[in-house]
Amino acid sequence: MSAVKPLDAHYIQWHARRLVEAVRRFGLVHRDEDGGFLIFLFARHWLIREVHPHYRLQVARALDTPERDPPVSSWLLHQVEEGDDAAWIGMLWDRFAQNSQTDTTPARLMPPPVVQGIKEQRVGELIRRWRQLGLFMVPYQQEVRRLGAVEREVMRDLGGADDRERIGLIDSLQVADQSIPSWAKMALIPRLACPESCRHCMFIWRPPMKHLPDPGPLLATINQRTANLLFTGGDLTGELDLFHHAIATMDQVETFAILLNGQLAHTRAAADDFFAALHRALARRPRSFARARVVVQISLDEYHQEILANRRGELRERIPVAHVARLLIAGAGWNGGTVALVHKQNSLNFSTLLFQHGVLGRLAAELELRGWNIGDVHWLTSPRSKEHPAQPGRQGGVIREAQLSLVGPATAATVHFISSCIDAMGRAELMDRSEYVHEPLLLESWLQGASPVMDPFDTDPMLWRNGNVTLFGAIHLWMGHFFEEGDRIFTRWHKDPLVAALARMDLRVLTAHQAWNARKHHELVQSATSPHGLMHAMTRDSAARLFLTRWLLTHPAERVLIPS
């Protein structure tokens, strides 16, 4: 049986891995004569920002090599609290000068040879170069506030004058097909609130949803248009009554999925109660209803379960792995549907070490503590090669799906595991790119017009409990207000040229966006982490949505839309 390690061991191990990978990526991207010094500056700032002082030395030791004496960690942490970058680089310069005769290490951290006599000039150049990179210049929380303010504006603009003009334009179009479509899936957002602040979350600011109308009409319309309903949003722990009500009353829906962050399972009894309530809700469905199942999706990744240090250096898990273990065990004997772990891809996804290290290693230990273990694992890799986030230039298949066999004292069950990419949106914009698998290769190929195989942009409808209707792939792309307009909203899916272009991943959206704002367009292309992320970013501004829609109407592709 593998013992559950104390949190500090996990904290040090995980941050050491993050440090090595961030430094490796930085070093590969900045391979020039200044690179050595810049790497040291990067590593030093990374440690100061990411690691509590109690643990910095242990984490920094991940960069030590047996040949180098004194070790890199001692240089990195020299005068951490005082001393500006120039003074610190000067100190480093002197140390290298002293050691240059004896140090033969061909390490990745080796700086260029020190040229005596030009120290001040070179240190000044290095500091200027470092500042030009713009890294770690603004405190993290200040950056979060800045991005949060942008998000607030985007959300407040939802359904504003531009969106209403855009919708009016779409409604004025005549198309042969006036029917109300149905979809493979639809989502309901009961509320967007969440008390957590995961580093990869696409939300920083969430619109408050208060004084909400009766959800009955929303459920009724979803019931007519899809067999698969997903409850999503923030922390849905407080929205389970509505989920149970939906299960018990929506006769056409066959799959009820809910995405949980696991916070509710603070005891085994709470986890058991959760599944018992689902069972009761399913049992309330009359026999005449479609046969239904529930898919319980539980987030499990390095961010939801991140180990955090408070000011005193005391550690806690953001959402404890034990909560997830309790839910898996409670769900193991349950026959009302499936339980799936929803994971975010990182460098571990490039091998089966994924199932032994990081958060999945911690989960295995928590399960074993309770007399359960993960047996056979059957996994699938992505159809396309992806770039290793810490080693730009290296590619490979990543594990994107698995079936985990969960074996207990008296029973066994299968747990589904789904692992997807992160896009640099919301809080995730502030993450170092070494930390998550993203899609630079796919993006490049798509931008070059190579029509790579990829999932379409998800344009299925997302209905907010407050009446807003948007898209799965773009929570800001406003299609109307259900409580003002009713089902008529859904006819827009036949007509909206922007939705159609997104669904086709049509490159003309880029041309149109560039015509709207060339500078903004350049910025978005430079910072995009995937084709879908770029489409998402290009439609965030309501003025852009209106412009893109008009542009697409005047530059039709395959479908001819006739203004009335």
CB of 306 to ligand SF4, least distance (A): 10
Of 190-198, 339-347, 350-358, 400-408, which part binds ligand SF4 (CB under 6 A)? Answer: 190-198
How many angstroms separate the Cα of 113 from the Cα of each of 45, 74, 314, 371? 23, 20, 42, 57
Which is it for strands 337-344 and 293-299: parallel, antiparallel or unpaired? parallel
Query: What is the closest distance, in whole angstroms, from the C-beta atom of residue 237 to ligand SF4 in the complex?
Result: 10
Candidate segments 32-40, 198-206, 340-348, 531-539, binder of ligand SF4 by CB under 6 A: 198-206
Q: Which stretch binds ligand SF4 (CB under 6 A): 197-205, 451-459, 500-508, 516-524?
A: 197-205
The two structure tokens encoding residue 457 = 């942009």
* Interface with ligand SF4 in residues 206-245 (CB under 6 A): 234-235
Closest approach of Cβ 232 to ligand SF4, in Å? 9
Closest contact distance (angstroms) between CB of 199 and ligand SF4 is: 9
- Of residues 476 and 521, the one with the C-beta less far from ligand SF4: 476
Q: Are strands 255-260 and 228-231 parallel, antiparallel or unpaired?
A: parallel
Region binding ligand SF4 by CB under 6 A among candidate stretches 90-98, 196-204, 273-281, 368-376: 196-204
Contact 60, 17 (CB under 8 A): no
Mapped onto helix, strand or coil, the DSSP state of residue 188 is strand
Residue span binding ligand SF4 (CB under 6 A) among the ranges 193-201, 328-336, 403-411, 532-540: 193-201
**Cα(90)–Cα(126) distance, integer angstroms:** 10
* Nearest distance from C-beta of residue 415 to ligand SF4, angstroms: 20
Least Å distance, CB 473 to ligand SF4, is 17
Q: Site residues for ligand SF4, window 278-317 (CB under 6 A)?
A: 304
Q: Looking at 132-140, 191-199, 208-216, 278-286, which segment touches ligand SF4 (CB under 6 A)?
A: 191-199
Least distance to ligand SF4, CB of residue 234, Å: 4
Q: State yes or no: residue 532 binds ligand SF4 (CB under 6 A).
A: no
Pick the closest to residue 345 from 439, 442, 456 (CA basis): 439
Q: Write the burial class of residue 305 (CB in 10 Å: 0-12 exposed, 13-18 middle, 19+ buried).
A: buried
Judged by beta carbon, residue 326 or residue 481, the one nearer ligand SF4 is 326
Could you tell me which of 374, 372, 344, 369 has the C-alpha nearest to residue 358?
Answer: 344
Name which of 203 and 490 has its Cβ closer to ligand SF4.
Answer: 203
Q: Which of 7, 173, 194, 227 binds ligand SF4 (CB under 6 A)?
A: 194
H-helix segments, 370-507: 440-447, 482-485, 492-495, 497-503
Sole window of 152-160, 195-203, 236-244, 380-388 interacting with ligand SF4 (rule: CB under 6 A): 195-203
Interface size with ligand SF4, residues (CB under 6 A): 10
Which residue's CB is nearer to ligand SF4, number 193 or number 561? Answer: 193
457 three-class SS: coil
Burial (CB count within 10 angstroms: exposed 0-12, middle 13-18, buried 19+), residue 428: buried
Q: Is 203 in the site for ligand SF4 (CB under 6 A)?
A: yes
**Helix H or strand E encompassing 187:** strand 186-189
* CB of residue 319 to ligand SF4, shortest distance in Å: 7
**Closest distance between ligand SF4 and the C-beta of residue 441, in Å?**
26
Tell me the CA distances in angstroms from 141 to 45, 134, 238, 310, one per residue in order: 15, 16, 28, 15
Could you give the string, one character per residue 242-261, with x where binding to ligand SF4 holds by CB under 6 A and - elsewhere?
-------------------x
**What distance in Å separates the CA atoms of residue 274 and residue 264, rounded to the nearest whole number?**
8
The residue among 111 and 426 lying less far from ligand SF4, judged by its C-beta, is 426
Structure tokens at 469: 């209707």
Distance CA 14, CA 122 (A): 35
Does 353 participate in binding ligand SF4 (rule CB under 6 A)? no
In this complex, which beta carbon is closest to ligand SF4, that of residue 402 or of residue 422? 422
Q: Which is nearer to ligand SF4, 235 or 387 (CB)?
A: 235
Among 104, 174, 197, 267, which residue interacts with ligand SF4 (rule: CB under 6 A)? 197
Q: How many CB atoms lie within 10 A of CB 410?
A: 7
Residue ranges of E strands in 363-458: 373-381, 386-387, 395-396, 399-407, 412-420
Min separation Cβ 448 and ligand SF4, Å: 33
Nearer to ligand SF4, 2 or 197 (CB): 197
- Say how many CA atoms lie within 13 Å of 135 toward its Cβ: 21
Give the integer Cα–Cα distance in Å for 12 and 82: 24
Residue 429 binds to ligand SF4 (criterion: CB under 6 A)? no
Of 365, 378, 375, 279, which is closest to residue 330 (Cα–Cα)?
A: 279
Distance from the first to the final alpha carbon of the chain: 71
Asked if 196 is part of the footprint of ligand SF4 (rule: CB under 6 A), the reply reads yes
Q: Note the residues at the interface with ligand SF4 (CB under 6 A).
A: 194, 196-198, 201, 203, 234-235, 261, 304
